[in-house]
A and B are shown apart, each in its own frame.
Chain A
Amino acid sequence: MSIFRDVQGFVREVNQVATFDALHGLLDGMVREFGFYYYAIGHHVTFAKGTLIQVSNYPDAWIEAAHERDFVAQDPVLIACQNSAAAFRWSELAQIINLTDDHKKVLLGAARAGLAEGFTVPINVPGECAGSCSFATKRQRTIRDTVLPGTQYVGCFAFEAARRIVRRPGNKTRIRDLSPVPALTSRQLDCVLLVARGKSDWEIGKLLGIAPETAHQHVEMAKRRYGVPTRTQLVVRALFDNQLGFQDVINR
């Protein structure tokens, strides 16, 4: 009964969220209630087509690696979504697809990055590209069976919330038009500028006189406000929106 209450409460709140920030906040709390830590909600598109929704707190290193190597094409979880309309655990992947060595490499990489056990809910809205919601535990934690039915609802309703946030009345197809320019704080902008100049969290910390963890958090918050999963995309968006100027980035 209380799992249902948790889900019911989550759904009522997520139906009202208007920003990616707020959606992240709700998801952070909800997934931890259920024993997960990581989540990734979004459409499956290759980098070439652009990303409609990517709401995720996966470890930085993992997302960067995945995007750089176009893991989307090799990610067994995303491929399994094509074969299974039903939700599945990552431990069941071999039963859904032919798990090749490349696929296993991806899973191993995810595990090394901190994603222990995972559960994915495929999302198929006709007329849109495929998407999914994945939830993963951290380190050695195992998935609690009892939360899985409720987790499916968390995924579906969160996905719809993201779709709703990314739309605005009277929009056309350019991703740029679909979301308002997120206001970054001046501290976040400082950090994004330094990221654009190729600085690491440690270097940013030294340059701004803050701890590297603090610098990391500023960048994370900026990514969340933009609803993008990588630092590269954050820089591109901030430049596109004129929150960063090319002169600032290049003249150094």
Chain B
Amino acid sequence: MVQIITASNRHLFATELDGMHRDRKRVFVDWLKWKVPVTDGVYEIDQFDNDGAVYVVASDARNRKHLASLRLLPTDRPHLLSAVFPQLCDDGIPTGPDTFELTRYCVSPDVPKSDAQGLRDLIWLAAVEYAVDRHIRRYTCVTHLQFLSQILAAGWEAEPLGLPKDVDGEQIGAIVVHVGHKTLAEVRRRYGYRNRVLERDPEPKVA
């Protein structure tokens, strides 16, 4: 099951979000050694986990355990690119109501390797469906260079926003991904999905 979790419905998903922040800590802090804040020794939560954040979360329908997720941030307020990594854009930071930043893509370490790819496909596909539902045309993304090929392999049309730069000894770059109906068709075809994976948008966009 893949859900969209926002400020207005997050009270229904406390279990999933708890699992997500725990797994984010295990992946980003314990494994990838990112220098990001840890709360209560078990949760990875930062200043962008706020009212504006939208979470795309895949969870086990039986026990609501977090399986995979990513976080989308509106770009008309401070986000990673604008507030933390502006130097990664050589041409100005893309912002606007049709532009969200895609961050904290995470697959739970408890997921067996054989299931990981399927979950990755599911989450990416859900993010594209969400974009089409909400008339989002661009996702920006800050990534370590070593993950870039993975992102490109997902099947969307990506472009760099600047040259990669060294941050704390790692090469990091900002890219923008164009999303729309064509992307949706392409991603569905690549992953072999015919039908919608997201539940109907709980907050349909008012024109």
Contacts and interface: CB of A to CB of B under 8 A. Distances in A.
Interface of A: 1, 3-4, 7-8, 11-12, 15, 85-87, 121-128, 149-150, 152-153, 156-157, 159-160, 163, 169
A10 B150 CA distance: 19
B90 A122 contact: no
B15 interface: no
Please list the 8 inter-chain residue pairs (A to B) with the smallest Cβ-Cβ separation, ordered nearest first.
A85-B146, A160-B152, A149-B163, A125-B153, A4-B90, A123-B149, A149-B164, A127-B117
Q: Please indicate which of the listed interface residues A86, A121, A126 has the most CB atoms of chain B within 10 Å of its own CB.
A: A126
B19 interface: no
Contacts of B50: none
A7 B175 CA distance: 12
B160 A153 contact: yes
Interface in B135-170: 145-146, 148-150, 152-153, 157-160, 162-165, 170
Contacts of B189: 169
11 contacts: A4-B160, A4-B163, A15-B158, A15-B159, A86-B170, A125-B149, A127-B117, A153-B163, A156-B145, A156-B152, A159-B152
B66 to A, nearest CB: 19
B171 interface: yes
A33 B152 CA distance: 24
A158 B165 CA distance: 20
Interface of B: 90-91, 116-117, 120, 145-146, 148-150, 152-153, 157-160, 162-165, 170-171, 173, 189
B146 A124 contact: yes
Contacts, number: 67
A7 B153 contact: no
Nearest to A164: B155
A156 B148 contact: yes
Given A15-B157, A127-B117, A169-B189, A150 B152 contact: no
Contacts of B159: 8, 11-12, 15
A128 to B, nearest CB: 8
A123 B117 CA distance: 17
A126 B150 CA distance: 7
Contacts of B157: 15
A86 B145 contact: yes
